[in-house]
Structure 1
Amino acid sequence: MKILVQEIKTEWTKASRSGRAAQLRSQTPLKLEMPQTIFASADYIIVHKLEFKEENNFECQAVEGHLSDPFSNGSELFGAVELRPGDNGNIQLKFRWSNEVGAPERKSRNIGNISDGEWFQVIYNGRFGGRHDWLYRQMVVNVGLSSQIEPTFFLLKDPKVTCDERALLR
């Protein structure tokens, strides 16, 4: 059984709040195919990170990763999504707001438990900085649990749960 985590980060400034740049920003995906090479590891948690930044015209920058000693502290945190081992091989998910998520503040809450073959999607956003140099970020964290590893795991079916914690960013 492996835990699949896909983090999709989109970052922009006020310059991309309208016009062509906003159009490009709004086209960033909420889920993608994972590269086949990422599954070569025997690690329990497979991590696929993607970034779409204004400074790169929202072109995809990918980073692959693995956690070889998962849950050594009892939980793992991916952005604002906390994973904990649950009962019967399930994984518990929780949304945990902190300053790293960005303004405005939101309440932390339990999302649910994932079983084999299921996945959850957590979407949130935040605003960072002062009055003039604001940075905006949207994070999508897709988390799946599966004994059958497929690069298209997140594309084959809809998530069991979508937790949308996006706020109005001004």
Structure 2
Amino acid sequence: MDAVVQRVRTSWTKKSRGGSEAARRNAAPTVFLLPPGLSSALHEVAMGEADSFEPRMQVRDLSAPGMILRKVDGLLRVDPPEVTMFGMPRRNRRPPAVRLAPGQWLQWQINHRFVGSCDGAWSYQLATFNILYGPAAPDVFLSVPTRRVDERGALR
């Protein structure tokens, strides 16, 4: 399948919910340049409060992008990202799948709040999926997406 997925995960705790730390978190990008020559791969970017939101990147195969991608009638069908039953807010109704034609790209964002099993402390995560159907130039995700799905909810 000729698709490239860039999964950007930003994680934080209560410490980054307000003030200057929240400003630093909110300044974390949701798109990055791709490594040159990338095709049919997952480009993972992780940023966390513990690392001052410095991006850590790796390239993996496209076998586990966190969502289901499949080719249907010449289009790329992108099903909603997987959600964990342990994250809040609950999402009982999910958006429908998105279909992309060759050359189009989608940005899908979803956030969660988690409760620690030992101490009950809350942690938070924003996942941004940038998905291109077709060959990828390194700067493809720096443009305006063809389609956008925003599943971010109030995290309290």
- Calculate the TM-score normalised by the size of structure 2: 0.88
Give the whole-Å Cα distance in 2 for the aligned partners of 1:113 and 1:135.
32
Contact persistence 1:121–1:142 (CA under 8 A) = yes
Give the whole-Å Cα distance in 2 for the aligned partners of 1:119 and 1:101.
29
Contact persistence 1:94–1:108 (CA under 8 A) = no
> Which residue number in structure 2 is paired with residue 74 of structure 1?
none
**Secondary structure of the residue that 2:106 maps to in structure 1?**
strand
**Secondary structure of the residue that 2:50 maps to in structure 1?**
helix
Tell me the percent identity. 29
**Secondary structure of the residue that 2:97 maps to in structure 1?**
strand
Give the whole-Å Cα distance in 2 for the aligned partners of 1:101 and 1:118.
33
Pair 101,121 (structure 1): closer, same or farther in 2 beyond 3 Å: farther
> Which residue number in structure 2 is paired with residue 129 of structure 1?
115
Give the whole-Å Cα distance in 2 for the aligned partners of 1:138 and 1:159.
18
Which amino acid is 2:133 matched to?
Answer: L
> Which residue number in structure 2 is paired with residue 56 of structure 1?
51
* 2:22 aligned with 1:22: yes
- Calculate the TM-score normalised by the size of structure 1: 0.81
Give the whole-Å Cα distance in 1 for the aligned partners of 2:123 and 2:147.
28
Give the whole-Å Cα distance in 2 for the aligned partners of 1:50 and 1:100.
23
Pair 154,128 (structure 1): closer, same or farther in 2 beyond 3 Å: same
* 2:94 aligned with 1:119: no
Contact persistence 1:111–1:163 (CA under 8 A) = no
Alpha carbon RMSD of aligned pairs, Å?
Answer: 2.0
| 1:140 corresponds to which of 112, 116, 128 | 128
> Which residue number in structure 2 is paired with residue 91 of structure 1?
76
Equivalenced residues, count: 153
The runs of at least 4 aligned residues of structure 1 exceeding 3 Å deviation read: none
Which amino acid is 2:42 matched to?
Answer: V
Which amino acid is 2:103 matched to?
Answer: G
> Which residue number in structure 2 is paired with residue 4 of structure 1?
4
Structure 1 unaligned regions, length at least 5: 71-76
Which amino acid is 1:24 matched to?
Answer: R
Structure 2 unaligned regions, length at least 5: none
**1:86-127, CA deviations, whole angstroms, 9 ceiling, x for partnerless residues?**
112x11112155326721111223232111110000001000
Which amino acid is 2:83 matched to?
Answer: S
Which amino acid is 2:6 matched to?
Answer: Q
Which amino acid is 1:136 matched to?
Answer: Y
| 1:160 corresponds to which of 120, 131, 146 | 146
Give the whole-Å Cα distance in 2 for the aligned partners of 1:47 and 1:22.
28
* 2:54 aligned with 1:45: no
Contact persistence 2:42–2:65 (CA under 8 A) = no
Pair 47,96 (structure 1): closer, same or farther in 2 beyond 3 Å: closer
